[in-house]
Amino acid sequence: GEGGTVTDAIEFLVQNWAEMVRLWVRMQHQGAVRSRKRRERERKQLRILVGASVERLASMDGVDLDMYKTVVLPKLLDQLTNSEDAIAQ
């Protein structure tokens, strides 16, 4: 089949990124105290994935600085502000 557009890819990656951020926030508040080290290690790994997603969005073919500033960054910021979570923001 035919692939999607750059806009489709951006939408997919932003949605994926938003879900990772939500998971990162939820992971902070779950689990017993004894599993804290494991949870923090998993959160650190997820934080790396969140950052890699932002990097992927910035370096996609078809995404120049103007598109990043006018399309990608506002979508990321909307996801953060709509999360209403101080930690994620």
Q: Using one digit for the tens of pLDDT, what is the confidence trace for 14-35?
A: 999 988 888 887 877 776 666 7
Q: Which positions ≥6 away from 81 have C-beta within 8 Å?
A: 89
Residue 88 scores a pLDDT above 70: no
* CA 1 – CA 58 distance, rounded (Å): 26
| pLDDT digits 0-9 by tens, 33-86 | 667 788 888 888 988 998 999 999 999 999 999 999 999 999 999 888 876 666
pTM of the model: 0.76
Could you tell me which of 7, 23, 21, 3 has the C-alpha nearest to residue 60?
Answer: 7
Which among 15, 46, 26 is positioned nearest to 87, based on CA atoms? 26
